[in-house]
């Protein structure tokens, strides 16, 4: 598929989604299948900021040997609703990145540079893992994007029949002038998909615990979208109601548990004030729901320790 076309800086049309979607069921709970789509290796300072010019250079890998890099997961998540069907959260890396030329085309120059130490096998793609679970990727009817950075949207093309939900601010940011310098690659956004935008500022958004702007996907409380801007202009997180607890998928609103619980901060954020506001809500949720499974965006230790609790071991 070819990418969507628009004049420079102008996003293609993506109509607003009408929530709740059909298929909700009172008391429904979700099953989660976590998908480890790749492993990347990044400088530790990228995730945990250290002051000073030298430390800033190290955040971008300057003077950091490969042995000093931090291994992180590149994830996606399959959610299964008893009546509404299956939902994919983010898409991980596309198999084309295994080819050097296609890697740059898919990820963009910035994305290809930042993920130059990423490792994956063809069977690790979200599509391949769904096949292994007996799920045809063409049957995925809904994809929820936490945001559109290159390591989250790389494999959108593998789900040709999906409606893709994305925050309206994120959609505009991905198509803005110079967006490639901010971690976006519009080559990943294929015209065959049905993009629908989410507006957390609309009257239908509600307060849910410490989160001030949330939307219920099916109207049954099984899956809640949470506005958590800061990492990007339109970043969102998700709360999934499981059989025994809730799971909060923070995505990149918090790379690591140390950001949530130990005061660490990433090197960069699109909007530092918005990031702190979103993080404060995540931290409040974490304190108020000690039984919940909190899954940060790129924390290998948390991935290894916590994801088996949702019932399906990580691949």
Contact 247, 295 (CB under 8 A): yes
CA–CA distances in Å: residue 152 to residues 106, 134, 146, 298 = 12, 23, 8, 11
Q: How confident is the model over 149-207, as pLDDT tens digits?
A: 999 999 999 999 999 999 999 999 999 999 999 999 999 998 889 999 999 998 889 99
**Does 69 fall in a domain?**
yes
Contact 30, 223 (CB under 8 A): yes
Q: In degrees rounded to 5, what are phi and psi of residue 179?
A: -65, -25
Strand partners, 58: none
Average pLDDT estimate for 17-22: 97
Residue 134 has pLDDT above 60, yes or no: yes
Q: DSSP letter at 179?
A: G
**Does 139 fall in a domain?**
yes
Integer Cα distance of 54 and 63 in angstroms? 9
Tokens describing residue 236: 């969102």
Integer Cα distance of 300 and 307 in angstroms? 10
**Does 300 fall in a domain?**
yes
Exposed e or buried b per residue across 204-222, where buried means at least 16 C-beta atoms within 10 angstroms of its C-beta: ebeebebbebbbbbbebbb
Looking up tokens 């809730």 gives 246
Please give the pLDDT value at position 157.
97
Q: How confident is the model over 266-282, as pLDDT tens digits?
A: 999 999 999 999 999 99
Contact 122, 112 (CB under 8 A): no
Contact 199, 192 (CB under 8 A): no
Integer Cα distance of 112 and 71 in angstroms? 16
- Confidence class for position 10, pLDDT limits 50, 70, 90: confident
Looking up tokens 């660490």 gives 264
Integer Cα distance of 32 and 35 in angstroms? 9
**Does 163 fall in a domain?**
yes
Please give the pLDDT value at position 62.
95
**Does 288 fall in a domain?**
yes
**Does 25 fall in a domain?**
no
Tokens describing residue 69: 């890099």
Task: Say if residue 1 is exposed, middle or buried (CB neighbours under 10 Å; 0-12, 13-18, 19+).
Answer: exposed
**Does 76 fall in a domain?**
yes
Contact 237, 146 (CB under 8 A): yes
Contact 162, 142 (CB under 8 A): yes
DSSP string, 221-272: SSEEEEE-TTSSTT-EEEEEE-SSSEEEEEETT-SSHHHHHS----S--S-H
Q: How confident is the model over 68-83, as pLDDT tens digits?
A: 999 999 999 999 999 9
Integer Cα distance of 306 and 303 in angstroms? 6
Q: DSSP letter at 217?
A: S
**Does 315 fall in a domain?**
no
Find the CATH number of the domain harbouring 182: 3.60.15.10
The structure's pTM equals: 0.95
Range of the domain at 208: 31-310
275 SS3 class: helix
Structural domain count of the chain = 1
């Amino acid at each position: 598929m070819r990418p969507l076309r628009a004049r420079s800086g102008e996003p293609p049309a993506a109509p607003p989604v009408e929530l709740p979607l059909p298929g909700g069921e009172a008391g429904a709970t979700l099953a989660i299948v976590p998908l480890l789509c790749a492993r990347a290796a990044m400088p530790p300072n990228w995730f945990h900021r250290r002051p000073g010019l030298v430390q800033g250079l190290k955040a971008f890998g300057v003077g950091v040997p490969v042995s000093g890099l931090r291994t992180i997961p590149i994830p996606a998540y399959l959610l299964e609703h008893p009546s509404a069907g299956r939902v994919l959260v983010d898409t991980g890396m596309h198999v084309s990145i295994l080819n050097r030329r296609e890697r740059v085309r898919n990820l963009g120059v910035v994305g290809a540079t930042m993920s130059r130490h990423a490792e994956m096998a063809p069977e690790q793609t979200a599509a391949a893992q769904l096949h292994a679970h007996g799920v045809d990727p063409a049957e995925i009817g809904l994809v929820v994007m936490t945001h559109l950075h290159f390591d989250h949207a790389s494999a959108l093309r593998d789900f040709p029949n999906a409606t893709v939900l994305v925050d309206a601010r994120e959609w505009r940011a991905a198509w803005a002038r110079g967006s490639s310098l901010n971690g976006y690659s519009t080559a990943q956004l294929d015209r065959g998909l049905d993009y629908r935008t989410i507006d957390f500022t609309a009257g239908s958004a509600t307060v849910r615990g410490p989160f001030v702007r949330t939307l219920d996907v099916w109207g049954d409380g099984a899956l809640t979208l949470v506005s958590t801007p800061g990492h990007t202009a339109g970043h969102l997180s998700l709360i999934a109601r499981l059989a025994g607890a809730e799971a909060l998928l923070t995505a990149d609103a918090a790379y690591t548990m140390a950001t949530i619980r130990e005061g660490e901060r990433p090197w960069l954020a699109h909007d530092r004030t918005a990031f702190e506001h979103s993080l404060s809500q995540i931290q409040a949720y974490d304190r108020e729901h000690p039984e919940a499974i909190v899954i940060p965006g790129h924390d290998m230790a948390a991935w290894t320790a916590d994801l088996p609790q949702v019932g399906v071991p990580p691949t």
